[in-house]
Amino acid sequence: MGFSKGTSMTTTYRAFVLSKDGDTVGAAIQHRNMSTLGDGNVTIRVAWSSINYKDGLATLSKGGIVRDYPRVPGIDLSGIVTESSDARFKEGESVLVTGFGTGVSHDGGYAEYARVPGDWVIRCPENLSPREAMIFGTAGFTAALAIQRLEHQGIKPESGPILVTGASGGVGSMAISMLSKLGYEVHASTGKTAEHNYLKQLGASIILSRDDVSTQGRPLEKEKWAGAVDQVGGDTLSWILSTLKYEGAVACTGLTGGVKFRSTVMPLLLRGVSVLGVDSVMYPASSRATLWQRIAGELRPDHLELIAEELDLEHIAPVLQQILKGNIRGRRIVKLD
């Protein structure tokens, strides 16, 4: 592509585009004119994006993510600013964007260029490359938010073990790695027997099976965990509530196992248990940069590369289907540069 500075010499860019025909959503790589970029005051030459569960949902006609087509999905992106009328960002700076409308109501990261509102943009911390920023992406940011929620609840490494469910996925891998870096004893539940060794390498000391943590038990079972990061929901969340220790808390991040859960008020009234919501999408822009500094510093796993696998734009489509089946381990990052 012929450009060095700015976007003035660039006329087209490649993008993975979703289109809808009746009830069917199709995907194709297109050469788009620069005039198709979304509204916003910061234009970014996208270097990296990533694959999240929500990006998989975006490809489904009834996934509830994308309403207007054509749409470039990709809820995460990082790269270099090529044009900015926002005084906070200068040409040539490394930046990252996660959440807000990215890849949902606004064209996202599966394209060589993106234009977004400056309020969505975060400067990459000095010790975090655009590539590393996408290994974390929304999954890492969500795991960090969940840990922050547990900490605000007073939970510390000495409080006891933390359970991470859906452990081999993106949020799960990140949560295990970050908690273990902070000195927590981490227990992990997974549906993938082949990934026990991987989870131990990330820092989990005990591995449970997915079935062990999704049983229909009594309202109060034996107390086990000081806290939990749960990205499964459904029966797993019900079971976690009955097994949290006194004043324990569960940070709810996901729904891969279902949106409905059953419980009673007993864990809340008799054990002072808390259910904590986690939302990475609309988390206030004003607090994001501080959390990214923490991600790049004390929360940064020593084995970041173990979690990541690279792919290019041409290989996105099958991976988006795989993630919906729960078959992806760790994080897949998309190379655009």
Q: Which residues are near ligand NDP by CB under 6 A?
A: 52-54, 138-139, 142, 166-172, 190-192, 210, 231-232, 253-257, 278-281, 323, 326, 328
Least separation in angstroms between residue 2's CB and ligand NDP is 36
Least separation in angstroms between residue 253's CB and ligand NDP is 5
Least separation in angstroms between residue 105's CB and ligand NDP is 16
Please say which residue, 84 or 173, places its beta carbon nearer to ligand NDP. Answer: 173
The whole-angstrom separation of Cα 208 and Cα 195 is 11
Least separation in angstroms between residue 182's CB and ligand NDP is 19
| Closest residue to bound ligand NDP by CB | 169
The whole-angstrom separation of Cα 63 and Cα 56 is 9
The whole-angstrom separation of Cα 303 and Cα 182 is 14
Please say which residue, 7 or 142, places its beta carbon nearer to ligand NDP. Answer: 142
Please say which residue, 32 or 161, places its beta carbon nearer to ligand NDP. Answer: 161
Least separation in angstroms between residue 109's CB and ligand NDP is 14
The whole-angstrom separation of Cα 266 and Cα 268 is 5
The candidate with the shortest Cα–Cα distance to 178, out of 205, 141, 222, 128, is: 141
The candidate with the shortest Cα–Cα distance to 49, out of 318, 334, 328, 314, is: 334
Please say which residue, 77 or 81, places its beta carbon nearer to ligand NDP. Answer: 77
Residue 190: Cβ-neighbour burial (10 angstroms; 0-12, 13-18, 19+): buried
Tokens of 297: 């510093």
Please say which residue, 70 or 234, places its beta carbon nearer to ligand NDP. Answer: 234
Least separation in angstroms between residue 50's CB and ligand NDP is 9
Please say which residue, 36 or 153, places its beta carbon nearer to ligand NDP. Answer: 153
Least separation in angstroms between residue 55's CB and ligand NDP is 8
Please say which residue, 78 or 190, places its beta carbon nearer to ligand NDP. Answer: 190
